[in-house]
Amino acid sequence: MTPWVLHVDLDQFIAAVEVLRRPELVGRPVVVGGNGDPSLRSVVATASYEARAFGVRSGMPMRIAARKCPDAVFLAADNAAYEQASARVMAILADFVPTPLTLEILGWDEAFLGVDTEDPLSLALRAQQAVLRGTGLWASVGIGDNVLRAKMATDFGKPRGTFTLTEGNWFPLIGDLGTEALWGIGKKTARRLAELGFRTVRELAAADPHALGEQVGPTMGPRWVGLARGSARSEVIGTPYVARARSRETTFQHDLTDPVEVRFEVGELARQVALDVVEDGRPAVRVGVKVRFKPFVTLTRSATLAAPTHDADTIASAAVQLLDSLEDDRPVRLLGVRAEFPPDDDRRLNPSRGRAGFGGDAV
């Protein structure tokens, strides 16, 4: 038997859950975010494929989504419903009968399966149908010889399909794409790599990892070259994912212009995060703040604490100091505070599934 990695990714998960609850929405553009009111400040958590056809994307302000697709149905996010649906899917995958497997849950809507089989495509189709029969939700399944290739294969199979990506077809399919196509490399990193002369995956793969490391850092240089070469772990780790941080964000319906009020709100967010830290049972070792100014400029700062702590006052003080370091008096539309935990075994984060920063929207 040959070891394979399957990446099961639920299609338009949040929107799909909402459509299951409201069958009359089948085929209509659906946008989920905030309290469902596009006139208020909030962002899109996810959009159905019909809404995406109008240019609506996760993370987009709801007001812009309403302008792009005025006929969309706007719904409030219901995290409890999505958690329940996710739990049903993961239970089905955990008990998948055709073969012994290892299940690694990545989030609400995706998981890796580690399987030993000579027919991974047949197994992927069976897993897809098992989820559909048990929940009514469609999934796409990527098949690969490691987690990176399985994860990226899924995009080729969406929606409702399967795709296989291995060492043999990696460069023919991926080589001429921009580096931002790689799992773990975002737009900012891709721009930085382009400035250094590496615009495509093939160009980055041909780079000297140590020479690149001298320009971008001894850890990231080899890592980015490794991603371009398709290198990643082939082991699926069957242990629960442990969050690396806790964070809270608030978007204000009216811009904050009083520095005293901004500092107060950061302190309040930090105290909420501190409660999350206590609940998690691990101390915070690093604190970060995120500030989005009018009209839409976002700055972040972070710093390592003098000692690991659960103390709310310590976390709040560090967050306010970081805010003050920005020395920016522009009106504020969003604030966020993040507390990071001590680093654990890093195997599950290679390539990155959770880069430093504030939590994104589920898609």
Name the active-site residue from 110, 203, 235, 249.
110
Given a contact cutoff of 8 angstroms between Cβ atoms, the answer to whether 140 and 11 are in contact is yes
* CA pair distance 340, 360, nearest whole angstrom: 16
Q: How far is CA 177 from CA 200, 203, 212, 258, 319, in A?
A: 5, 10, 20, 46, 39
* CA pair distance 116, 121, nearest whole angstrom: 12
Which residues sit opposite 291 in a β-bridge?
Answer: 299, 335
CA angle 310–312–316, rounded 5-degree value? 125
**3-state secondary structure (DSSP) of residue 295:** coil
- Judged by phi (left if over 0) then psi (alpha if -120 to 50, else beta), residue 255 lies in beta
Residue 110 is a catalytic residue = yes
**3-state secondary structure (DSSP) of residue 354:** coil
**Rg (alpha carbons) of the chain, rounded to whole number:** 22
Which residues sit opposite 142 in a β-bridge?
Answer: 7, 163
* CA pair distance 323, 294, nearest whole angstrom: 16
Pairing of strands 332-340, 284-293: antiparallel
CB pairs under 8 A, 24+ apart, for 326-330?
Answer: 326/291, 326/299, 326/301, 328/291, 328/293, 328/299, 329/259, 330/293, 330/294, 330/297
Which residues sit opposite 31 in a β-bridge?
Answer: 47, 74
**3-state secondary structure (DSSP) of residue 134:** helix
Which residues sit opposite 246 in a β-bridge?
Answer: 339
Q: 196: burial class by Cβ within 10 Å (0-12, 13-18, 19+)?
A: middle
Q: 287: burial class by Cβ within 10 Å (0-12, 13-18, 19+)?
A: buried
- As annotated, the active-site residues are 110
